[in-house]
Structure 1
Amino acid sequence: MPEKNSGPSSAMDGGISGHKVSTSADVFIQTVSAAVHHSSDLIVKSIPPSLTLIYIDNLVDTKALTDHIILELVKYPGVSSQNLTSYLPVPQVKLTEEVGDAVRALMDGSVLIHVEGDAQIVLANIPTTESRSLSAPEMESQVIGAQVAFNESLSTNVSLIRRLIKNPDLCNELMEVGERSTTSVALLYIKGVASDEMVNTLRQRITDLETDSVLDSSILEQLIDDNSLSIFPQMLLTERPDKLCGELLNGKLGLIIDGSSLAIVCPHSFLEFFQSQEDQNLRWQIATFTRLLRFSAVVLSVFLTPLYVAALTYHYEVIPQTLLVPLSESRALVPFPPLFEALLLELIIELLREAGVRLPSKVGQTIGIVGGIVVGTAAVQAGVTSNILIIIIALGALSSFTTPSYMMGNVIRLIRFPLILLAGLWGFYGVMLGFCFIMVELLRQSSLGSPYTAPFYPPRLMDWGDSLVRLPLPLTFKRPSNTRPEDEDKFEPAPIDPENDKLKVN
């Protein structure tokens, strides 16, 4: 049997880990070329009398290569590798004696500079900097607040955080993940606020990963969360820099992955998935009303259709008499039982939603609107479903869109189906059984070791002021206790008293 690769070095350097750099340029060129399987985009350039440049085309900045490396090397013919590190005007320059390190640096956008007769090689990192320009958030849009979202550049995303949190205690730890293809991951936290135990736990989970590659933050989130088998996400994915900064100031941790436009925030409780960054920008009365509206919409989206199926299948006595006549007339021509009728319409709604997402944006909106109207009208006229159920299904689908987190919105969409099945089998008892299963699943979850149902279980009264409701900001001066922050107070809790103002207007 073939041997399994032992780690990143064996997978990323062509199996030449531990080999030393040859003093001969020809031997070194052959070694590197063999390591990358003689790829056509491997460029080799010679600068007389003794310098050789090796790099991967399109991975290095050609302008920086010409201005900061080639033109500088021409000025210093015959210079040693040791002295080149101080002559080159490139921020990231280092020496190595290992061919494996050189090949990994080559894949990361570095230029290998070999000096004939030297046993060390210079690694000058000048990667390309093409990236998508900054734009407004699409999934987490808001009216009041910053209108900028992350893009796919790690350096750009970290700079956005640095501009908002101008504090030397903001720590940025860079790590590499992946054995076949390495991806840079930035661990962000505020020293003196974030829990050292949580920082060590998250750092260990990332460094212990043994995977071929991590191409997106959503993949990394599934690899490092507490329970990857659960349907509920335990870490938040956000595209908003201000959202991530607010969570960092609350003592949480952030992860930014190179090539992904979504950052990871942890730990995160269940209720926090239904909170928006805009809640902090609004007056507390409006923010409280909006949060309660979202929570009510979630309950409505999950339980409205199952309760309809249970009532029409087993519990006619709970329906008011004034509704029995129009309900009976609406279902008079429907040949299917309520269970099949509800599942059919829910599947049609999901098909329309999925088609609208996969099609181009302009066509997708048209398909969603026109398709919903046409299918709904045709279904009622054909006697496949009733008018009342269409209203209930549409109301449940509309309510699911109020969830700020896309990942949690998908969960809300999915758990309706088993609840509808339980309602069709056992009525209200089935709905209650499904509700108990959901509660047990929530109570057994954790996020980076923090209770998933905080602050209600275990009860933490000080955190209730910024959970289902949002009290005035002077009353929310404590950081969330589920993050176990080292500094518990965000600001001085004493409110401003206008009577104490010294400056009076005449």
Structure 2
Amino acid sequence: MWFTKKDRIDDVARQLAHSPDFMCRRIECKGRNVYVLFLSNLINHAHLHQNVLSFIHEQQHISIDQLARCLPIGAVSICETEKEMASYIRDGWAGIYIEKEKRGLVVNIAEKVERSLEKAETESLVLGPKMSFTESIDTNIRILRQNVTDPKLVTEKIMIGVRNPLEVRVVYIEDIADETNVQTVKQRLEELHIDEVIDSSVLAQMLDDHAYTIFPQYLLTELPDRLAYSLLKGRIGIFVDRSPTVIICPTTFFSFFETTEDIYLRWAMSTVLRAVRMLGIFASIFLSPLYVAVITYHYEVIPSALLLTIGESRSRVPFPPVIEALFLEFMIELLREAGARLPTKVGQTMGIVGGIVLGQAAVDAGFTSNVLIIIVALSALGSFTAPSYEMGATIRILRFPIILLAAFWGLVGIFIGVSILLIHLLKMTSLGRPYLSPIYPFRFTDMKYALIRLPVRFYHQRPKTNRPQNSRRFSWREAMKRKDLDE
């Protein structure tokens, strides 16, 4: 309910905690007072004077409905209460009300602070588009619409947060995305009754099917082409305002080892690179535990020539293999964390020089052996092959408990760790869909989307894992035809 002029201004100011940057401009137009309310540090002052104040001065007859129709600004909304107007003003809008009018008007003249479009930092590519998303949700939606021109593209707005409301957009292609998946995402978002959402990575954790697992269940990307490719496969994207990353769901375990570069490269090269990534992850998890298990319990499996080399290398090491391995792994993690937190150029120098100096010093001091230095270095390199930072961090964490199992029970301990890991992955889901698909449940036709790459003509159907409404991408028969110009 709107009251007198003073009550209105005082109530809006009270909703804004009497902020010192709250301003009120009075304009007299044809005997009626018009009041424009705004926060001075959030608006574009040129728009305010040119498109709002000057326009109101020029009007012969003034009313809220007339302003809503004629103001030369795209985003205009009518407010019924002071609380609603104050909420808009916090986002950089200007509030307008006219004496003897029951309703108010808000116009969007916000001046957003955002960085320019840049190359992706966490997902580097050799081929393909390099542009990444920014912290502005409006800019991100505009980038998405430039990449996906499908008329069925849907962007639904949901506000999350009680004290600090934040705009979230659920995006999907209406006739491709599974309706159950869409409704599940919207239901989980609408049921979040929290103070605020800081970032999309935090929101992804709130939407997890399994909160206590170390495995990421939703893919985070800053590449518009990767989101576009995922939407066309039947997945759903979630934008969060002020976050440069987008949530993609549902995902599988193998999604975290794919890159959009796999699409741009020849199919044979993509298959080889995927295999290299999987072998790198396998080596990152199991090389150090295998060293501990073999040296502690199963040294008889080592060839005699190599056993002499390892024995000579460990002759000066006073610690058992497990302490030796944990020491080096911990040192590698310290170097990695220090390099990530330091400025870019200093961090690179710290990682390279620190690794060389500390590794050589550890061998000379008798803390570790030369062989383990090589093994730990290969393990560290293997963890970097994961395109997803979250999955790479998960792989590094898994290495430590498996090293301890290898120290207690040797190869049997490693097999116990693998069994527990497989059982855990088999039980996991992402948005209610199997996490290990297409391995479990087994779907032969989806293997080309997970482990291997085939020529483009074989991708005439969308992956069944996402349960798309329209599974057909193009005609198989037409794709298999080869016609020359002279035919």
- TM bin, normalised by shorter chain, reads over 0.9
Query: Is contact 2:231-2:237 (8 Å) kept?
Result: yes
2:16 is aligned with 1:33: no
Name 1:356's counterpart in structure 2: 339
Q: What pairs up with 1:310-459 in 2 under 5 angstroms?
A: 310-459=293-442
Compared with structure 1, are the counterparts of its residues 401 and 80 closer, same or farther at alpha carbon in structure 2 (3 Å cutoff)?
Answer: same
* Greater alpha carbon shift after TM alignment, 31-40 vs 290-299: 31-40
**Secondary structure of the corresponding residue to residue 318 of structure 2:** coil
Contact 1:465 1:471 in 2 (8 A): yes
CA distance in 2, matches of 1:419, 1:77: 79
* Pairing 1:111–2:94 present: yes
Letter in 1 for 2:383: S
Instruction: Give the equivalent residue in structure 2 for 1:298.
Output: 281
1:21 matched to 2:2: yes
> What's 1:92 paired with?
75
- 2:366 and 2:15 map into 1 onto residues whose CA distance is 67
Alignment of 1:136-285 (within 5 A): 136-285=119-268
User: In the alignment, which residue of structure 2 is the partner of 1:504?
Assistant: 486
SS in 2 for 1:152: coil
Equivalent positions of 1:61-140 (< 5 A) are 61-76=44-59, 79-140=62-123
Read off the aligned partner of 2:100 and give its amino acid letter. G
Task: Name the residue aligned to 1:13.
Answer: none
- CA deviation string 1:25-50 (max 9, x = no partner): 21111111122221111111111240
In structure 2, the partner of 1:10 is none
| Cα root mean square deviation, aligned | 1.4
Paired amino acid for 1:30: D
| Structure 1 pair 497–486 and aligned structure 2 pair: CA distance change class (3 A) | closer
Aligned residues: 484
The C-alpha deviation readout for 1:375-411, integer Å capped at 9, x for no partner, is: 0010000000000000000000011101001111110
Whether the 8 Å CA contact 1:50–1:78 is kept in 2: the answer is no
Rate the CA distance shift 1:499–1:448 in 2: closer, same or farther, 3 A.
Answer: closer
Partner of 1:44: 24
CA positional deviation for 1:57: 2.0
Determine helix, strand or coil for the equivalent of 2:477: coil
Q: Which amino acid aligns with 2:68?
A: T
Tell me the amino acid that sits aligned with residue 36 of structure 1: L
Residue-by-residue CA offset, 1:321-377 (whole Å, 9 max, x unaligned): 121100000000001111011101101000000000001101100111111111001
Work out whether residues 112 and 123 of structure 1, in 8 Å CA contact, stay in contact via their aligned partners in 2. yes
Local SS of the residue matching 1:309: helix
SS of residue in 2 equivalent to 1:189:
strand
Are the structure 2 counterparts of residues 499 and 306 from structure 1 closer, same or farther at C-alpha, using a change threshold of 3 Å? Answer: closer
**How far 1:482 sits from its partner (Å)?**
1.3
SS at match of 2:106: strand
Which residue type is aligned with residue 397 of structure 1? A
CA distance in 2, matches of 1:341, 1:455: 39
The 8 Å contact of residues 68 and 90 in structure 1, kept in 2 or not, is answered as: yes
SS of equivalent to 1:455: coil
- Which one of 26, 39, 42 corresponds to residue 56 of structure 1? 39
CA distance in 2, matches of 1:326, 1:156: 59
**Where in structure 1 are there 5+ consecutive unaligned residues?**
1-19
- Over 3 Å counting, the alpha-carbon distance change for 1:62 and 1:380 in structure 2 is same
Letter in 2 for 1:45: R
Structure 1 residue 76, shift from structure 2 partner = 2.3
Q: Distance in 2 between matches of 1:492 and 1:141?
A: 33
Determine if contact 1:50/1:77 at 8 Å carries over to the other structure: no
Structure 2 Cα separation of the partners of residues 21 and 366 of structure 1: 63
Partner of 1:465, secondary structure, is: helix
CA distance in 2, matches of 1:66, 1:361: 43
Q: Deviations over 1:189-211 (max 9, x none)?
A: 00110111111110111111111
Describe the shift of the 1:499–1:74 C-alpha distance in structure 2 as closer, same or farther (beyond 3 A). Answer: closer
Cα deviation digits, residues 124-177 of structure 1 (max 9, x gap): 122213321111112111111111111111111111111111111011111111
How far is 1:497 from its partner?
A: 6.1
Q: 2: distance between equivalents of 1:82 and 1:324?
A: 88
> What is the CA–CA distance in structure 2 between the aligned matches of 1:289 and 1:260, rounded to whole Å?
34
Tell me how far 1:307 sits from its aligned partner.
Answer: 0.7
| Per-residue Cα deviation, 1:233-283 (whole angstroms, up to 9, x for no partner) | 110000100000000000000011111110110000001110111101111
State whether residues 208 and 431 of structure 2, in contact with CA within 8 Å, keep that contact through their aligned partners in structure 1. Answer: yes
Q: Is the 8 A contact 2:434 2:440 kept in 1?
A: yes
Partner residue, 1:308: 291
Counterpart code for 1:316: Y
Which SS does the other structure have where 1:123 is aligned? strand
> Given residue 31 of structure 1, which amino acid in structure 2 is its aligned partner?
D
Identity of aligned residues (%): 42
Residues 468-505 of structure 1: per-residue CA shift (max 9 Å, x gap): 1112121122211111100111112236567633x329
Shift of 1:109: 1.6
Aligned to 2:462: 479
Q: In the TM superposition, what is the alpha-carbon distance from 1:229 to its structure 2 partner?
A: 1.5
Question: d(CA) in 1 for partners of 2:187 and 2:220?
Answer: 20
TM-score w.r.t. the length of structure 1 is: 0.93
Structure 2 counterpart of 1:176, one-letter code: M
